[in-house]
Amino acid sequence: MSAPSTATLYRIAAYAGIGSGLVLLINAAKRSGLIPVTAATQLIAPLAQVLALALIAGLYFAYTRRTGTFGLTAYLLNAGALAALVGVEFVINLVFAELPANTIAELRAGPLGIALTVASISFLLGTLAFAVALLMARKAPAAAVTLYALGAVPVALRAAVPEWALNAGLVAMAVGIGWLSVRMLRDASTHAETTTPAVAVA
Alpha-carbon span 188 to 175, nearest angstrom: 20
**Length of the chain counted residue by residue:** 202
Is the separation of the CB atoms in 63 and 134 below 8 Å? yes
Model pTM score = 0.86
Q: Residue 27: left if φ>0, alpha if ψ -120 to 50, beta else—which one?
A: alpha
Contacts of 195 (CB under 8 A, 6+ apart): 5, 6, 7
Contacts of 3 (CB under 8 A, 6+ apart): none
Residue 1: the pLDDT is 54
Burial of 169 (0-12, 13-18, 19+ CB in 10 A): buried
Task: List, for the chain, all residue ranges whose pLDDT scores fall below the cut of 70.
Answer: 1-4, 191-202
Residue 197: the pLDDT is 43
Is the separation of the CB atoms in 74 and 132 below 8 Å? yes
Half-sphere exposure of 165 (CA within 13 A, CB side): 12
Contacts of 97 (CB under 8 A, 6+ apart): 37, 42
Secondary structure tally for the chain: helices H, strands E: 8, 0
Is the separation of the CB atoms in 148 and 78 below 8 Å? no
pLDDT digits (tens, 9 = 90+) for 85-135: 888 888 888 788 778 888 888 888 888 888 888 999 999 999 999 999 999
Residue 90: the pLDDT is 85
Residue 23: the pLDDT is 96
Is the separation of the CB atoms in 192 and 7 below 8 Å? yes
Burial 171-199 (b: 16+ CB within 10 A, else e): bbbbbbbbbbbbbbbebbeebeeeeeeee
